[in-house]
């Protein structure tokens, strides 16, 4: 086999960078050289969180490089509308220049580009440069199925040409697929209509680009989404892509992990701790944040809570008066946890989660029941999987003010702890998913086929 060099480009968000770094790691372990392309801002965050050295080279086969996203360094990247527009205007040209300079300077020519589906323009650039393209989808595959079915959804009058829902009734994308709510389609589930519109534009571009690639790699598994994969055989499950066992396993994280929580977990009884984390993006208003704090206090159980810097809309996150004194050592609060290690810890009993797809997979692979608190986009569909399909968790209801109250949180936690059905279902799914990444499993063999394809035309 000839030597291969793969360029990997994720969408600049934590939930996209982590699984694409894991995919890269798998390729590196097989001797493939990987150049990982972040935006400059993300590259700097990763460097600061101490994972790579400043030149971006941390081993012979892995190179971390960056190109600008087109916004000024101090501009707000949480404004996804602005960010997405700037990316599509500025990054394709910079990406082409990068390919040319890598090819000039590196002794191994780029043989393949793996582009995040949300960066579909990179697939066009690959085509233009005569490099084999592959796409990567980081969310659930049912979410991608709605993207690939956009024309049918428009023809059936479910959505209009701007992606807005016209009929809010349960639909099935095929007879064998699970029913889904049109309002759960990922480009619809944003509070801001401008954001929904931008997300829909990304969807249309991705759909077109998908026709240019032989491979659409998905961080999912047939055990979790069998009907969707059989409806779309062009999609290849290779997940779940979880952190491999290596020393430097803080792969692509934007914040430094606080590992002191692992020692704290060691001191807690088995299956006793509530773990609460809402990924990298979720924002809380102060009222809701306080209700959650009180709910955890009322639960009377040990808890480990990730309170990310900037998690509340206010400038500083403020806990209720006397909170820290009252919870004492029963509660551990960190700004970023080694989540995969936490979820695998025997002391953890359940996961209060925003249901981002990575968090969902990580909870599933550790056999944990969920309390679902979705924030936006595909997270509502993931909640449906957890609560209605896999039956491994519960949702939370808002009161008439739109708040999830402390009493609601306390009572749902009690149900999760007292009803063994959730844990039993979770353990059952855990076993099934584990078989897909083991030798002979579907995700395992798809990855091997993809690896062979990377080499095919160059050998």
Task: Give residues with Cβ within 8 angstroms of 53, minimum separation 6.
Answer: 47
For 359, phi and psi rounded to 5 degrees?
Answer: -65, -40
Helix axes 420-437, 357-365, angle to 10 degrees: 100
Q: Using alpha carbons only, what angle is made at residue 254 by residues 310 and 48, rounded to the nearest 5 degrees?
A: 105
In the bound complex, what is the minimum distance in angstroms from residue 32's beta carbon to ligand UDP? 23
In the bound complex, what is the minimum distance in angstroms from residue 354's beta carbon to ligand UDP? 6
Stretch that binds ligand UDP, among 82-90, 274-282, 426-434, 446-454 (CB under 6 A): 274-282
**How would you class 436 by CB atoms within 10 Å of its CB: exposed for 0-12, middle for 13-18, buried for 19 or more?**
buried
User: Rounded CA gap, 49 and 29, in Å?
Assistant: 23
Paired with 65 in beta bridges are: 37
- Indicate which single residue of 281, 284, 351, 370 sits in contact with ligand UDP (rule: CB under 6 A): 281
In the bound complex, what is the minimum distance in angstroms from residue 262's beta carbon to ligand UDP? 12
Question: Which lies closer to ligand UDP via its Cβ, residue 166 or residue 248?
Answer: 248
- Indicate which single residue of 186, 229, 336, 370 sits in contact with ligand UDP (rule: CB under 6 A): 336
Stretch that binds ligand UDP, among 181-189, 332-340, 399-407, 425-433 (CB under 6 A): 332-340
The residues in 289-308 that bind ligand UDP, with binding defined as CB under 6 A, are 306
Stretch that binds ligand UDP, among 14-22, 33-41, 204-212, 419-427 (CB under 6 A): 14-22
In the bound complex, what is the minimum distance in angstroms from residue 233's beta carbon to ligand UDP? 25
- Indicate which single residue of 277, 386, 396, 404 sits in contact with ligand UDP (rule: CB under 6 A): 277
Question: Which lies closer to ligand UDP via its Cβ, residue 185 or residue 241?
Answer: 241
- Indicate which single residue of 4, 5, 9, 15 sits in contact with ligand UDP (rule: CB under 6 A): 15
Residue 239 binding ligand UDP, by CB under 6 A = no
Question: Which lies closer to ligand UDP via its Cβ, residue 291 or residue 362?
Answer: 362
Residue 182 binding ligand UDP, by CB under 6 A = no
User: Rounded CA gap, 301 and 386, in Å?
Assistant: 23
- Indicate which single residue of 4, 14, 149, 446 sits in contact with ligand UDP (rule: CB under 6 A): 14
Question: Which lies closer to ligand UDP via its Cβ, residue 18 or residue 123?
Answer: 18
In the bound complex, what is the minimum distance in angstroms from residue 306's beta carbon to ligand UDP? 4
- Indicate which single residue of 6, 8, 9, 18 sits in contact with ligand UDP (rule: CB under 6 A): 18
In the bound complex, what is the minimum distance in angstroms from residue 362's beta carbon to ligand UDP? 5
* Number of residues near ligand UDP (by CB under 6 A): 19
- What would the DSSP string read from start to end of 413-433? HHHHHH-HHHHHHHHHHHHHH
User: Rounded CA gap, 40 and 418, in Å?
Assistant: 48
**Cis peptide before 240, with omega less than 30 degrees from 0?**
yes
Report CA torsion sign: 165, 169, 175, 179.
positive
Residue 356 binding ligand UDP, by CB under 6 A = yes
- Indicate which single residue of 358, 366, 405, 446 sits in contact with ligand UDP (rule: CB under 6 A): 358
Residues across the chain: 459
Helix, strand, coil percentages for the chain (3-state, nearest 5): 45, 15, 40
Q: For residue 301, what are its two tokens? A: 């159980």
User: Rounded CA gap, 312 and 318, in Å?
Assistant: 9
User: Rounded CA gap, 146 and 142, in Å?
Assistant: 7
Tell me which residue of 135, 128, 125, 130 sits closest to 88, measured CA to CA.
125
Residue nearest to ligand UDP (CB): 15
450: left (phi over 0), alpha (psi -120 to 50) or beta: alpha
In the bound complex, what is the minimum distance in angstroms from residue 281's beta carbon to ligand UDP? 4
Stretch that binds ligand UDP, among 37-45, 47-55, 266-274, 279-287 (CB under 6 A): 279-287
- Indicate which single residue of 279, 302, 363, 395 sits in contact with ligand UDP (rule: CB under 6 A): 279
Residues that bind ligand UDP (CB under 6 A): 13-15, 18, 253, 277, 279-281, 306, 336-337, 339-340, 356-359, 362
């Amino acid at each position: 086999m000839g030597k291969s060099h793969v360029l990997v480009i994720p969408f600049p968000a934590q939930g996209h960078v982590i699984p694409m770094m894991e995919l890269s790691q798998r390729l590196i372990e097989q001797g493939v050289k990987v150049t990982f392309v972040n935006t400059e801002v993300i590259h700097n965050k990763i460097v600061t969180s101490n994972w790579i050295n400043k030149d971006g080279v941390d081993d012979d086969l892995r190179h971390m490089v960056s190109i600008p996203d087109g916004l000024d360094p101090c501009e707000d990247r949480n404004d996804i509308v602005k960010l997405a527009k700037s990316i599509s205007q500025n990054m394709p040209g910079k990406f082409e220049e990068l390919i040319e300079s890598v090819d000039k300077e590196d002794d191994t020519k780029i043989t393949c580009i793996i582009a995040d589906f949300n960066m579909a323009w990179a697939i066009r650039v690959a085509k233009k440069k005569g490099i084999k393209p592959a796409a990567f989808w980081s969310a659930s595959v049912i979410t991608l199925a709605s993207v690939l079915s956009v024309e049918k959804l428009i023809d059936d009058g479910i959505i209009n040409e701007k992606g807005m829902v016209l009929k809010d009734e349960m639909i099935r994308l095929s007879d064998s697929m699970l029913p889904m709510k049109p309002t759960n389609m990922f480009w619809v589930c944003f509070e801001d209509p401008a954001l929904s519109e931008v997300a829909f534009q990304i969807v249309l571009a991705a759909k077109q680009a998908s026709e240019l690639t032989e491979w659409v790699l998905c961080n999912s598994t047939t055990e979790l989404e069998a009907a969707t994969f059989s409806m779309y055989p062009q999609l290849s499950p290779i997940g779940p892509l979880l952190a491999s066992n290596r020393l430097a396993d803080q792969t692509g994280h934007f914040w430094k992990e606080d590992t002191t929580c692992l020692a704290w977990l060691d001191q807690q009884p088995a299956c006793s701790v509530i773990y609460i984390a809402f990924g990298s993006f979720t924002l809380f208003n102060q009222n809701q944040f306080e209700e959650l704090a009180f709910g955890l206090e009322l639960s009377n159980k040990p808890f480990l809570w990730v309170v990310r810097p900037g998690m509340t809309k206010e400038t500083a996150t403020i806990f209720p008066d006397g909170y820290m004194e009252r919870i004492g050592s029963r509660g551990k609060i960190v700004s970023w946890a080694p989540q995969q290690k936490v979820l695998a810890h025997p002391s953890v009993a359940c996961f209060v989660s925003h249901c981002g797809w990575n968090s969902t997979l990580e909870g599933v692979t550790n056999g944990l029941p969920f309390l679902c608190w979705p924030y936006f986009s595909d997270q509502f569909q993931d909640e449906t999987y957890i609560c209605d399909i896999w039956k491994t968790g519960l949702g939370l209801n808002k009161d008439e003010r739109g708040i999830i109250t402390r009493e609601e949180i306390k009572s749902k936690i009690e149900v999760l702890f007292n009803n063994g059905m959730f844990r039993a279902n979770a353990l059952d799914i855990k076993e099934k998913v584990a078989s897909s990444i083991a030798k002979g499993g579907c995700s395992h063999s798809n990855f091997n086929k993809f690896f062979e394809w990377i080499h095919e035309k160059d050998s």
